[in-house]
Structure 1
Amino acid sequence: MSLPQQLRDESDFDQLPDNIPVTATIADIEEKKGFIVYYRFVIEVKAKGNSKYLIYRRYRQFFVLHQSLELKYSAEAQPGYYTCQLPTLPVFDFSGSGRLELSLKAGDVIFLLRRVNADWLEGTVRDKTGIFPESFVNIIKPLPESDSDEEGGASMSGNRAQSSYSCLRCYLLQPEGIDTRDICVEEDLSIQPSYEDLLSQMRDIFQVEDIALNYRDPEGDLIRILDDEDVTLMVQESKQTGSKVKRPVNQFPWELLVTHAKDLSVYNTEY
């Protein structure tokens, strides 16, 4: 039997040497304390011959590998025959180890301020400013290469974000305090959403059903939004006051203030 015929009669797997890795599973996660607290994955590798061994990798090593594979094989980066859809990296919360570091959770939108070094960025989230590792976030709008005052944005999201995303800052006003959120939507900054869409979005974000939507007028008073005409007025007034407020370049010039529907104490009214 000729060698080509022999190779066709045998499966590809049977021809592999016994020391070739065939599976890899995360067996454990170890917490390590260096200059920062980080986590190392313990990966159990099983070879074709049933032998096993352990390797140790940090998340940022998977992140760098994923980026390299995307540059080489993704359809967006290299259109052509040899492309594939890479799986999305899992997202992990990041716990800051000191007062200079931000603590981030999946779904957070972070406004970028500057690059600290090759691995770390500085930004703001929920009115807090600090540094965090780039490998934990997806960049929505990158920082400009030049030293300008423009800002970018990043998201703790499992899906790759595009530059068409915009961020909306919203607040839930409650007697016990203010809950600040930044939400990311795939809309242009010039969009004027409907009242019902905004109401549904805020109910979902804050998990409160009986709410009212509001904005602040140029005098600083809280104005309740009741319909699409009020949304139009809010957007128009934001163009007048927006230039006075420094915002990231991908943030809407208007903000939503959410209150409980029956709470009228937040309004500047006299009886």
Structure 2
Amino acid sequence: MSLPRQLRDESDYEQLPEDVAVSAHIADVEERSGFTVYYTFVIEVKTKGGSKYFIYRRYSQFFTLHAKLEQNYGPENGVTPYICSLPPLPAKIFVGNKKDIAEGRIPLLNAYMKGLLSSPVWVLLDEDLRIFFYQTTFDSERIPRALRRLRPPTRKIKKNSQHISDMERPRAEALFDFKGNAAQELNFKSGELIYLLSRVNKDWLEGTVADRVGIFPQSFVRIIKDLPEEKFPVSWLRCYFHDYDRCHIRDISLEEDVKKLPTYNELLELIRTQFPGIDVALNMKDADGDLIRILDNSDMELLYTRGKKKTHKENFFSWELHVTHCEDLDMYSNRAGENSHTT
């Protein structure tokens, strides 16, 4: 069987829609806090139509995508003629510093994405692949925190597009002349007023002067009215801590999808950080309101299943967690939730 034609074949390339990703590379990694500390890759994607944008993906999402593509097109499971050789994905690493692991994966994942986006047309049109490289609303609302390897794109601001007065707009006064060394950087002179558009990272801002738009170092300006504080989507996990004499209610903020179910070890690690110095045990309530200790991932599945049947607040996980002292076995003969108060 001959090798399938690749993306570089001009006739295949013309079949692709304008919004299909044709190149992607990692600009940076960002630390995030969820059930455990993890790192996301900041990826700049370019489409066939010339659009560029950022997406944020975890290694686990690469792993899930690769498994689906192997299932659909790999030589062991694919269906002729839709079979091709997919690029190798960097293997999982279970031991080591998470940040070092993430940094070390950057060149390997760049090579993986390059190989993936050079696949036959039927792979590039695969729904799972297109969703992976699609910029979600969540992606578009986030601003890369530290672009060490890439300058961010800038925007063109139309005249009269601002519906607020100049006095209400975030702005800064230039303290020194600044002449950038790249096309994306904003040139200005001392004393000029710069209207702020976004915060690129802790050292750089994006702004506009006389219809020119670009980025510049914050140290060159005096902030008159700052940008609003950046807000990331937050989910909440309601946790009941049954102390020896009373029950405290604690809402834990996480940068996680409320549909995600952590493993038992991930959840235990999170709760230990919330209650330092306490040997904690994880629990759920049964139908009668009594506590049942959670011991493994099968219990986590039961916790999640029961939680789906209950109503819950927006941005809250559907399941509620009950935490006890590990040695306090008396809790299992008492009703949970008595004498509760919120801390």
Q: For the superposition of Structure 1 and Structure 2, which TM-score range results when normalised by the shorter chain? A: 0.3 to 0.5
Q: Which has the higher contact order (CA 8 A, sep 6+)?
A: 2
Q: So what's the TM-score if we normalise by structure 2?
A: 0.33
Considering fraction of residues, name the structure with more helix.
2
